Structure 1
Amino acid sequence: MNQFAPLFYFVTILLAFRPIAANTVRNIEAGMGVVVNVGAIIDNSSRIGKEQRVAMEMAVEDFCANNSQRLVLQIKHSRRDPMQAALAARDLINMQEVQAILGPHTWEETSLVAAVGSENHIPIVSFAEATPNWATELWPFLVQASHNELKQMEAVAAIVKSFEWYQVTVIYQDRDYSSNEILPGLSRALRQVGSEISQLVALPPFGSSSLVRELEKLRQDQYRVVIVHLSLPLALQLFEKAKEMKMMEKDYVWITTDPITSLVHSFNASTISAMQGVIGVKSFFPESESPQFQGFHRRFRKRFSSEYPEEENNDPGVFAAQAYDAARAVVLAVTQRKHNGRPLLENILRSDFHGLSGKIQFTDQKLPLQKMFQIINVIGKSYRELGYWSDGLGFTQTIGGNDTTSSSMKDFGSVFWPGGTFYTPKGWTVSTSSKPLRIGVPTGAAFKQYANVEKDPLGNNFSFGGIAIDLFEETLIKLPYHLPYEFFPFNGTYDSLVQQIHSSKFDAVVGDVAIVSQRYQYAEFTNPYSEAGLMMIVPVRSKFCSKAWLFMNPFTRAMWALIVAINVYNGFVVWLIERNYCPELRGSLPNQIGTLIWLSFTTLCSLHEKLHSNLSRMTMVVWLFVALVITQTYTANLTSMLTVQQLEPAVAGVDALLQSNAVVGYCKGSFVSMYLKKVLKFSPDHIQEFSSPEEYAKALKSKAIAAAFLEVPFAKIFLGQYCKDFVSVGPTFKVGGFGFAFPRGSPLLPSVNEAMLKVAESGKLRELENDMLASQKCLDAETDGRTPSLSPSSFWVLFTFSGGTSTIALLVYIFRIHKSMLKHKTIWNLMLAVINQWGNPSMQRFSRRDSDISPETPTHSANVPNLQAQV
């Protein structure tokens, strides 16, 4: 600060003894031909300052060519020094009697110049890229004439999201106020797309040694996406050093913001060579689409090349366009002041026109936010325009066309990345320190099939096994890079194990670790590799031990009804045909009904009477065959039910457990305890923890606990070991499955998830699960032990055969009676004769006459007169 002490003293003297520039106001009011001075403060040593100077001079000349008012642009050079800028502003106001000051470009310079301008009521039209909201309240004569570019941070975040990068490094310039506005906006935008800033690197304005040291730290780090927000001179040093340190090669991603990218058109061949593959975000302004800009572009190139022949490129950029628009707004305000008499500041804030850089219309003494940006890619000797990003629309390849918008930059096509590659970098790599990952594995797993840690009895070495370990190793094989690791045992609860990641003791956790919300404050998880859920396991008991109607179970109700119906029907047919030969089948109506029912069911075993008709014999043969099949099937099914154990759960569900205040069990150290208390509402006194499947089985058999609550993978193993004694009951409660834990925001997580999906899709995960369960599988695990009741669908062919045979016999019998009676009686008389048979035993000869039609019985014509007489 000692070198600036004289300057501070000089500025103080100037502020104390300032002359009043009133003559200029009177001269403006006097009339035509009076010279009006407008000041400008630029950094003429920078490309931005050079473009601003030429553009502002052109704006003043264009105005004077069309107006009689004479304006003179008084330019001072600040060399990017805030104190020098303040002295220049004092000199312009006091000595040059300027009516307004254009510039400077940086906020550090603007803040001091604005203080001088407001004190003298001179408008300061600043080109600073970010002006805080409180600035215009402190300095009411400050006007921001550059579009606020905070929205470009959302464009940067959209690029990061497009390529699924989750961690980025930000390099910014220390003691640059714009960073105080830009960095919070960038952090918010990244968080909204699921990414975050892994580290911030602040570079001093000068000092190559510091630059090399910071780049070396970045090279040692695993993150490879770097966002650069620096002034152009410092950015050029950065990329030159990065190229020397081989950091502009493959796997690196460099994204530059507007202060750098908007000047890429001015870079020489050496600079372009150092920035190959860089993606840049630059302010958009209508160049080729605007006839106004085309004319400005031709004149600017001619003038710029003559005044700055050392510059290789003479094209104007956005800073030239902004300077031209700002100067135009000031000179128009000067002219309007002559006519309307309003203060110059008020006229400037009333500006409303379409300029080279866009719409010029001030709100709260600022131009509106820049909402459209161009995305470029440095390649070859220049750069390629990839497309555009606009607020609310996303990415598009053209402006004003019919292209559809997209949320991803991948739709632009191939991007040229550092190192000359066209494949998208991962955005990170294994740290060059090559330290293996420290993987924590729980030692107290209740089910060793998932995570088993055993200590070598002869030393301190540990062996690690289980499906979780095997799956993790298979996953690492699928990664596109080598990832060294070491397993370490951990004896404690699962919650404390996950917390070790947060405290950086472990880089990851592998085992039967459940994915639950409370653990997300310490770590993030991969996709679950096991079935999610919580099951209730209870003992089983005999299903039929106390059922009195067990004998009915071999057949369904429909089957029993059909058996009764077919027996009654077959008995009726046999009774109707044979009653003419058997006196036992005749008698009173109640006697005949009883005989019919008796005949229907005793025939299932045997028929003690001799059959006289072939029709009844045919019916009986089929009937006995069906009866034999049904009785044998009934006997076999009932025997199966009595000999094969029929089991049912000893507990109906959770409600039954709660109502009976039963004690339940869970795995030691797991989250299930919390779930039982908070969700299922079990009392803490009714919850016990267990450390192995054997302890579960012993407690369930001894009724020390009524049920055990196990996660689905554990439940499958337990039921595989004890499938005859226990069963799962009720619904599966939805909770997270098992996953691997990593630090929050870990760049490994997306790659590991993708590799796990590849393992699952290849069938390897299923193979591991089958191998694990194979040794636990019961021999009768494929069936549920139930013998189903038989329905009519199993016997419909037999019932159709028996019923059809009886029906045919009945129809033939009726046909023969009808045929023999046609000679003597009408159908009505025949019906009466048949009905009379039911109650008239004396009609024996009629019955015999009818039955004599069969070959076994001789036909006697003497029976006919008797039949006629009785009828």
Structure 2
Amino acid sequence: MHKFAFLLWFINMHVIIHGNTADNESSDVKGIIGAILDSSSRIGQEHAVAINLALEDFHQKNNLSFALHVRNSQGDPLLAATAARDLIDNQKVQAIIGPQTWAETSLVAEVCTQKSIPFLSLADATPEWAMKKWPFLLQSSPRQIMQMKAIAEIVKSWKLYNVSMIYEDGDSSSTEVLSRLSEALTSVGTELSNVLTVPPLVSSSLSQQLEKLREGQCRVLIVHLSFPLALHLFETAKRMNIMGEGNVWITTGSFTSLVHSLNASTISNMQGVIGVKSYIPKLWHQYGNFYHRFRKKFSSENFEEFNYEPGIFATEAYDAATIVVDSMRKTNKKGGQFLLDKILRSNFTGLSGQIQFNGHERAPKHTFQIINVIGSSYREIGFWSDGLGFSKSLDPNASYSSSVKELGKVVNPTCDIRLRIGVPSMSIFKQYANVIQDHSENVTSFKGFAIDLFYETVKKLPYHLEYDYFAFNGTYDELVKQVYLKNYDAVVGDVTIVSTRYEYASFTQPFTDTGLVMVVPVKSKTGGRTWLFMKPFTKLMWILILVIIFYNGFVVWMIERNHCPELKGPILHQTTTMLWLAFCSLFSLNGDRLHSNLSRVAMVVWFFVALIITQIYTASLASMLIVEQFEPTVDSIQQLKNNNAIVGCDRGSYLQRYLQDALGINAENIKQFDSQESHANALRNKKIAAVFLDVPGAKIFLAKYCKGFVQAGPIYKLGGYGFVFPRGSPLLPGVNQALLNISESGTLRDLENSMLASEKCKDIIDPGAETTSLSPASFMVLFILTGGTSTTALLIYIFSESYLWPGQRTMWSLMMAVIKHWRSQKRLFSRRVHNVAKSPLNFAT
């Protein structure tokens, strides 16, 4: 069937050539055009029909005829170069159109440049350097630079970072495509993690190449292959069950532009594929007529094809032929530089879009169509426009989005491959990772802060991720190496981020506080403090109390000295008596021994103030004795080294190595423990002087043993806890972003508080707290009261003794006599009989 079709196509080309040649003899032929096509491919078949339609349309509009000579290269670069020489030397063509591959284009460009014949390439991509090397080479199809940017935006929509590209080996034009794609991916925050080259010929090695794709999860696979090779790729991938494993397949325009030609059975191999292709404007006053004529002509010449609709390759060939014939019409010169200049000045709207050359290439397109293969066909789901984003239509009022998901139901990566996640079963701090094994039911459960946090993190990922936990009974370094050995896909637990482990795996950002601290027992600060009894009051308070005592004693002595012989005598005797009287007033009022009401009033107020002060003093001192203050037994690493002390750390962690290498502690002085309880017991029994813990572990330890231990010394900056993933894992950026979202939303803080609450000690001791001594400000009102009362009594006494005139003194004496008489009557009812003549200082009954 294929040979029969080719025979018909050859006869058709032969008729066209000779038909045009016959016209040359009877009419004015404006120019001769050559075309090098691959008649065995769908692209070459569309090119042939479209070029003929372009010449027919131009003849109808301008009444100008052009001779067309077509050669079949069969996709062989050497045949293409031979055909070019034949067309130039024998057929005297003035311009050549085609072919479709870069390998053919490079050889034909060399021939055309030597002969000074304009050559319009229909290849997908032509390197910039090629047009400088071959000045008669023109890129007549729009450059695909922006197509790579559209693909990068699709990748960005799922926030997947494991991007692989599959391209054809031996196609040097793919180098530029690869470079453009890499730049576009970098601009959206990702990069190519793998590049897979496929041999140009169908071979069994493709299966071996695709096996490499099984090593990752949630991959984005960008396919840039020729049409037949891409079909073979998808057929092989489906057979290997790679198509449905959560991978996102994206095809470039070289394949997507021909999806319309596939039948249902072929499309079934491509379920979920997303394609990007150039957008055909479909100006109906031009395209409508072309569409119907193309289908009719194409079906008559290629009736074995499934679909007869024209694609972007047909419109580009139509426009290339139009460019040539229109430029020939505008010049009387037969080819060469004059024709090339006319072609470069072309400026009109063609079927494929605006026709305008920028240098030797057409301006790149800025709008692309997005398709999604579903079921037995495909859907045109929307568009991507540079600078605007994705939209469902190109109407002036269309809304744009930065995500392809807004175009509707698009295939999403599901990451169906379940991750194998290792969890340390030797964790000392079970609050972070606890492996619970129920041997009776043969069930293992996993709990803890790290387990809960990873669950919340996975919920924040933009794709579904399934995983299983596996207990690992070994050291943390060995657990990290299991990721390197591909026994586990990740590790979740209290794994500290240290540089030596980066040799085998990568870490997320830390989800706990970072650092290493020293925890030691505490000792009492108050033990052996001789002057503790002075602590309740400040020095100024003690001075003020003594001043008030002396002052009140002086006032009483001054008022009572004329009534009491014991208060008279030598100065030394009077002074000691006054001091004794002042201090005795703190403990006994003795109001009935005082003769003057003035002294009695002063003493009553002072006794009231003294009672309050003594009670407050007693309470404050008792509080200090009951609530002891503590301080660490060791406050520095240097103290441990000087005392050659034994220290402890977690068994199986990195700490033993760090204590030796970084802190300089002898290996003989380091003991490893398996639990928090063993740490605490060793510290209490003084088997070790200190224990070194990560900050997250120290929080748990001090929350549980808050009364006997305290953190001491500086915090040594280390990595903190993080999740472990393979180096270059595509999941790592997404997990890091999810952790940031959890932290910023407060979920991380809530999880940590919930964990610490279960171990929280109610009577937490703050070693840095100091009891505040009481100052005079707390008693200023009392001091003013007693001082003011005593001063007032003293002034009244002085005034009454010095300034009262005799009549007033008589009156005063009469008042005092009445008071004494009242007192004597009162004593008659007293249980005790006092000698009125006794001295007020005589306390004997």
- Name the CA distance, whole Å, in 2 between partners of 1:838 and 1:83: 142
Q: 636, 647, 651: which one pairs with 2:630?
A: 647
Whole-angstrom distance in 2 between the partners of 1:659 and 1:126: 83
Structure 1 residues 398-407 or 259-268, which shifts more?
Answer: 398-407
Does residue 300 of the first structure (1) align with residue 290 of the second (2)?
yes
Contact 2:589–2:604 (8 Å) recurs in 1:
no
Question: What's the CA shift for 1:166?
Answer: 3.5
Query: One-letter code of the match for 1:39?
Result: G
For the aligned residue pairs, the C-alpha RMSD in angstroms reads: 5.7
Look up the equivalent residue of 1:415 and give its one-letter code: K
Instruction: Find out whether 1:125 has 2:120 as its counterpart.
Output: yes
Q: 1:429 pairs with 416, 427, 432, which one? A: 416
| Number of the residue aligned with 2:819 | 856
In structure 2, the residue matched to 1:415 is 409
Residues 430 and 448, structure 2, Cα contact 8 Å, conserved in 1: no
Does the CA-based 8 Å contact 1:173-1:230 persist in structure 2?
Answer: yes
1:99 Cα deviation from its structure 2 partner: 1.5
**Kept after mapping to 2: 8 A contact 1:297/1:315:** no
Distance 1:477 1:131, change over 3 A: closer
Alignment of 1:190-209 (within 5 A): 190=185, 193-194=189-190, 196-197=192-193, 200=196, 202=198, 205-206=201-202
Aligned letter for 1:849? W
Given candidates 720, 723, 734, the residue that maps to 1:740 is: 723
Cα gap change, 1:466 to 1:344, in 2 (>3 Å): same
Match of 1:503 among 485, 495, 498: 485
Match among 240, 249, 252 for residue 254 of structure 1:
249
- Contact kept? 1:535, 1:710, Cα under 8 Å: yes
The partner residue of 1:81 within 49, 72, 76 is 76
1:104 aligned to 96, 99, 104, which one? Answer: 99
Residues 595 and 301 of structure 1, relative CA distance in 2, 3 Å threshold: farther
Q: Distance in 2 between matches of 1:846 and 1:50?
A: 145
Distance in 1 (CA, whole Å) between partners of 2:672 and 2:220 is 46
Q: Are the structure 2 counterparts of residues 835 and 237 from structure 1 closer, same or farther at C-alpha, using a change threshold of 3 Å? A: same
1:28-427 equivalences in 2 (<5 Å) = 33=28, 35-60=30-55, 70-136=65-131, 138-168=133-163, 170-183=165-178, 185-186=180-181, 189-190=184-185, 193-194=189-190, 196-197=192-193, 200=196, 202=198, 205-206=201-202, 223=218, 225-236=220-231, 251=246, 253-264=248-259, 277-284=272-279, 287=281, 293-309=283-299, 310=303, 316-334=310-328, 338=332, 343-344=337-338, 346-347=340-341, 350-351=344-345, 353-356=347-350, 357-358=352-353, 360-362=355-357, 365-378=360-373, 383-390=379-386, 394-395=389-390, 401=396, 407-410=402-405, 412-417=406-411, 424-426=412-414
User: What amino acid sits opposite 1:537 in the alignment?
Assistant: V
1:691 to 669, 672, 678: 672
1:233 Cα deviation from its structure 2 partner: 4.1
The CA distance in 1 between the partners of 2:349 and 2:46, in whole Å, is 16
Secondary structure class of the residue paired with 1:490 = coil
**8 Å Cα contact 2:102/2:126 also seen in 1:** yes
Deviation at 1:304, TM superposition (A): 0.5
1:306-365 residue CA offsets vs partner (Å, 9 max, x unmatched): 211357766654333433443344345445654799714751674352543455555563
Mapped to 1, the partners of 2:807 and 2:647 lie a distance apart of 80
Q: Report the secondary structure of 1:856's partner residue.
A: helix
Query: What's the CA shift string for 1:19-51, capped at 9, x where partnerless?
Result: xxxxxxxxx9xxx95632121222345443344
Give, in angstroms, the shift of residue 512 of structure 1. Answer: 3.3
SS in 1 for 2:159: coil
Q: Structure 2: any 5+ residue segments left out of the alignment?
A: 1-23, 823-845
Query: 471, 490, 513: which one pairs with 2:474?
Result: 490
SS at match of 1:90: helix
How much does 1:515 deviate?
1.8
Distance between the aligned counterparts of 2:135 and 2:768, measured in 1? 90
2:698 maps to: 715
Structure 2 equivalent of residue 532 of structure 1:
514
Match of 1:523 in 2: 505
Query: Over residues 492-546 of structure 1, what are the superposed CA-to-partner deviations in whole Å (9 max), with x where a residue is unaligned?
Result: xx44652442233544445532023553342123564544332233554443456
Q: Pick closer, same or farther for the CA change 1:727–1:764 going to 2, 3 Å.
A: closer
The correspondence of residues 766-785 of structure 1 with structure 2, limited to 5 A, is 773=759, 781=764, 784=767
Query: Unaligned regions of 5+ residues in structure 1, if any?
Result: 1-27, 418-423, 815-830, 860-871
1:141-161 CA-to-partner distances (Å, cap 9, x unmatched) read 332222332443332232222
Quote the offset at 1:130 in angstroms. Answer: 2.0
Name the % identity.
44
TM-score (norm 1): 0.70
- Partner AA of 2:296 in structure 1: S
Shift in CA distance, 784/97, structure 1 to aligned 2, threshold 3 Å: same
Using the TM superposition, give the Cα deviation of residue 438 of structure 1 relative to its aligned residue in structure 2, in angstroms: 7.3
Confirm or deny: 8 A CA contact 1:570 1:803 kept in the other structure. Answer: no
| Number of aligned residues | 778
SS of equivalent to 1:729: strand
Q: How far 1:246 moved relative to its partner?
A: 7.8
1:543 paired with 2:525, answer: yes
Report if aligned partners of 1:523, 1:741 keep a CA contact under 8 Å in 2: yes
Moved more, 77-86 or 647-656: 647-656
Q: State the Cα distance separating 1:486 from its structure 2 match.
A: 3.8
Q: Secondary structure at the match of 1:71?
A: strand
1:634 maps to 617
Aligned-partner Cα distance in 1 for 2:130–2:520: 72
Q: Deviations over 1:726-771 (max 9, x none)?
A: 4213554443222332213446668988699699779777666555
How far apart are the structure 2 equivalents of 1:386 and 1:856? 114
Deviations 1:171-193 (A, max 9, x none): 44455444444345445654663
Question: Which amino acid is 1:789 matched to?
Answer: T
